[in-house]
Amino acid sequence: MSKRKKLFKKAAYQETDRCFVQDHKMAGKWSEVFGNDHPITMELGCGKADFSYGLAEKYPERNFVGVDLKMDRMWYPARRAEEAGIRNLAFVCTHLLQLGDQADQHEIDEIWITFPDPFPKKRQAKHRMVNENFLRVYHQALKSGGRLHFKSDNRELFLFGLEVFVKAGLNFHTLTFDLHANEEIGPDPKVKTAYERKFMEMGIPINYVVLSFPEGWEKRFE
């Protein structure tokens, strides 16, 4: 993508309704944005937000927030939602370690991590969205009993995540190494992102896990 095109998309994103940047601290303000107190689902590293868009269309009685570091990625789904009159979908451009500025303590009902960068080199492990530092951020944002969902085509990253989750003492609710072949799992997790469709065409199975934090989990860091 040319620099000029990227700059255009960034500017267009900031002019689109319900699109926020890091300077907008949205924690505690989502009921004002959406005009209701409906449950909130956040998709982290949402990219083009196919997943959030699909669920927002399906569930008008719930609110969805796509979060990504690159606003030029979110420009298209934001404009698409605005043109379609989808009022329960918003976007925030921020780094995930600053998620506390965008979600008040225990404000979010669900968090989805969909196909994050695997950062395959060992020295890059600190950047993986499923390491323990990120778990602390997710725990702070999620309501008590809120669910953390993780989807990935990358088996190595998924196994790394499972090790982190077990070591961190998280509760496991659903686990599969082939999401779309598992008939016991309902349709919502099977809403496909652009990456997901590509991986499935290549015959790569999708890994999926649902987790929650035990009561008093934060005390492990005291």
Average pLDDT over all residues of the chain:
93
Rounded to two decimals, the pTM is 0.94
Identify which of 138, 167, 162 has the alpha carbon closest to the alpha carbon of residue 67: 138
What was the pLDDT predicted at 21?
93
In the chain, DSSP finds a helix count (H) and a strand count (E) of: 7, 8
What was the pLDDT predicted at 209?
98
CB-CB contact of 129 with 116 (8 Å): yes
What was the pLDDT predicted at 62?
98
CB-CB contact of 129 with 158 (8 Å): no
CATH superfamily assigned to domain 20-221: Vaccinia Virus protein VP39 (3.40.50.150)
Q: Indicate which residues carry an active-site annotation.
A: 117
Sheet holding 108-114, edge to edge: 19-21, 89-93, 63-68, 40-44, 108-114, 142-152, 207-212, 171-176
Residue 57 token pair: 């269309």
Percentage, residues of the chain above pLDDT 90: 82
Cα 7 to Cα 176: distance, rounded to the nearest angstrom:
40
Cα 170 to Cα 167: distance, rounded to the nearest angstrom:
8
What was the pLDDT predicted at 198?
92
For 150-199, how does the pLDDT look when each residue is reduced to its tens digit (9 = 90+)? 999 999 999 999 999 999 999 999 999 999 999 999 999 999 988 899 99
Residues of the chain with pLDDT under 50: none
> 110 - beta bridge partners?
41, 147
Give me the residue spans of the domains in the chain.
20-221
Residue 4 token pair: 């000029």
